[in-house]
Chains A and B, each alone.
Chain A
Amino acid sequence: MTDFETGRHLAYLAAAALFIIGLHLMNSPRTARRGNLVSGTGMLLALGTSVLALIHDGTARSWGLIALALGAVVGGAAGFIAARRFKMTDMPQLVSLFNAVGGGAAALVAIVDAGQRPAGLDSISAGTGFVLVADIAIGAVTFAGSLVAAGKLQGIVPGRPVVFRGARGVNLLLAVAVLAAALLTITRTGPGWALATAGAAAIVLGVTFVLPIGGADMPVVVSLLNACTGMAVAMAGFLLSNTVLITAGALVGASGTILTVLMAKAMNRSLANIVAGGFGTGDNAVTTGVPGTDDRAVQSVTADDVAMQLAYATSVVVVPGYGLAAARAQSELVDLANTLISRGISVSYAIHPVAGRMPGHMNVLLAEAHVPYDQMLDLETANRAFGHTDVALVVGANDVVNPAARTPGSAVYGMPILDADKAGTVIVIKRSMGHGYADIDNPLFSDPKTRMLFNDAKAALNDIAEATKTLIS
Chain B
Amino acid sequence: MSYSLFADLAVFVLAVLVGIEVISKVPVTLHTPLMSAGNAIHGIVVVGTVSIAAEAAATGSYLLTFVAAAFAAANVAGGYVVTDRMLAMFRPRKPVEPRPAEGDTHD
Q: Tell me which residues across on chain A come within 8 A of B69, comparing CB atoms.
A: 67-72, 75, 105
Q: Which A residues have a C-beta under 8 Å from some C-beta of B?
A: 15-16, 19-20, 22-24, 26-30, 32-33, 35-37, 39-40, 43, 46-47, 50-51, 53-54, 57, 59-61, 63-80, 82-84, 86, 88, 91, 94-95, 98-99, 101-102, 104-106, 108-109, 111-113, 115-116, 125, 127, 222-223, 226, 229-230, 233-234, 236-238, 240-256, 258-259, 262, 351, 353, 356, 358-361, 363-364, 367-368, 370, 372-376, 378-379
- Give Cα distance in the complex from A35 to B60, angstroms: 39
Q: Tell me which residues across on chain A come within 8 A of B68, comparing CB atoms.
A: 71, 104-105, 108-109, 112
Nearest-CB distance from A32 to chain B (Å)? 5
Q: Tell me which residues across on chain A come within 8 A of B62, comparing CB atoms.
A: 63-64, 66-67
Would you call A29 and B65 a contact (CB within 8 A)?
Answer: no
The B23-46 residues at the A interface (CB cut-off 8 A) are 23-46
B residues contacting the other copy or chain, number (CB 8 A): 89
Q: Report the tally of A-B residue pairs with Cβ distances under 8 A.
A: 402
Q: Tell me which residues across on chain B come within 8 A of A79, comparing CB atoms.
A: 73-79, 81
- Give Cα distance in the complex from A51 to B48, angstroms: 11
The B7-66 residues at the A interface (CB cut-off 8 A) are 8-9, 11-13, 15-20, 22-58, 60-66
Q: Tell me which residues across on chain A come within 8 A of B4, comparing CB atoms.
A: 241
- Give Cα distance in the complex from A36 to B30, angstroms: 12
- Give Cα distance in the complex from A135 to B83, angstroms: 26
Chain B: CB-nearest residue to A60: B54
Would you call B31 and A249 a contact (CB within 8 A)?
Answer: no
Would you call A251 and B32 a contact (CB within 8 A)?
Answer: no
Chain A: CB-nearest residue to B37: A36
Would you call A28 and B27 a contact (CB within 8 A)?
Answer: yes
Interface centre among A26, A113, A256 (most CB of B within 10 A): A26
- Give Cα distance in the complex from A353 to B35, angstroms: 14
Q: Tell me which residues across on chain B come within 8 A of A72, comparing CB atoms.
A: 46, 69-70, 73
Would you call A102 and B30 a contact (CB within 8 A)?
Answer: no
Tell me the interface secondary structure of chain A in the complex: helix
- Give Cα distance in the complex from A244 to B8, angstroms: 10
Nearest-CB distance from B41 to chain A (Å)? 5
Would you call A75 and B73 a contact (CB within 8 A)?
Answer: yes
Q: Tell me which residues across on chain A come within 8 A of B52, comparing CB atoms.
A: 108-109, 112-113, 116
- Tell me, yes or no, whether B98 is within 8 Å of chain A by CB: no
Would you call A378 and B65 a contact (CB within 8 A)?
Answer: no
The one of B9, B45, B89, B105 in contact with A102, judged by C-beta atoms closer than 8 angstroms, is B45
- Give Cα distance in the complex from A68 to B53, angstroms: 6
Supposing A64-B56, A247-B15 touch, asked if A105 and B72 sit within 8 A by C-beta, the answer is: yes
Would you call B48 and A84 a contact (CB within 8 A)?
Answer: no
Supposing A36-B87, A247-B15, A363-B30 touch, asked if A47 and B50 sit within 8 A by C-beta, the answer is: yes
Would you call B58 and A65 a contact (CB within 8 A)?
Answer: no
Chain A: CB-nearest residue to B13: A250
Nearest-CB distance from B95 to chain A (Å)? 10
Across the A-B interface, give the 10 residue pairs with the lowest CB-CB distance, nearest first: A71-B69, A254-B19, A79-B78, A360-B31, A75-B73, A75-B70, A79-B74, A250-B15, A108-B68, A83-B81
The one of B34, B41, B51, B107 in contact with A242, judged by C-beta atoms closer than 8 angstroms, is B51
Would you call B55 and A113 a contact (CB within 8 A)?
Answer: yes
Would you call A251 and B15 a contact (CB within 8 A)?
Answer: yes
Q: Name 22 A/B residue pairs within 8 A (Cβ), A-sorted.
A: A23-B22, A24-B25, A29-B29, A29-B90, A32-B30, A36-B83, A36-B87, A37-B84, A39-B41, A47-B76, A64-B56, A68-B53, A79-B81, A98-B39, A98-B43, A102-B45, A230-B42, A243-B11, A248-B42, A250-B15, A360-B33, A378-B28
Q: Tell me which residues across on chain A come within 8 A of B66, comparing CB atoms.
A: 67-68, 70-71
Chain B: CB-nearest residue to A59: B54
Q: Tell me which residues across on chain A come within 8 A of B93, comparing CB atoms.
A: 372, 374-375
Would you call A112 and B55 a contact (CB within 8 A)?
Answer: yes
Nearest-CB distance from B60 to chain A (Å)? 7
Would you call A83 and B41 a contact (CB within 8 A)?
Answer: no
Supposing A60-B53, A243-B8, A372-B91 touch, asked if A83 and B27 sit within 8 A by C-beta, the answer is: no
Would you call A104 and B71 a contact (CB within 8 A)?
Answer: yes
Q: Tell me which residues across on chain B come within 8 A of A360, comparing CB atoms.
A: 28-35
Q: Tell me which residues across on chain A come within 8 A of B54, comparing CB atoms.
A: 54, 57, 59-60, 64
The one of B17, B33, B45, B92 in contact with A109, judged by C-beta atoms closer than 8 angstroms, is B45
Would you call A82 and B78 a contact (CB within 8 A)?
Answer: yes
Supposing A116-B61, A251-B41, A367-B90 touch, asked if A20 and B18 sit within 8 A by C-beta, the answer is: yes
The one of B45, B77, B89 in contact with A233, judged by C-beta atoms closer than 8 angstroms, is B45
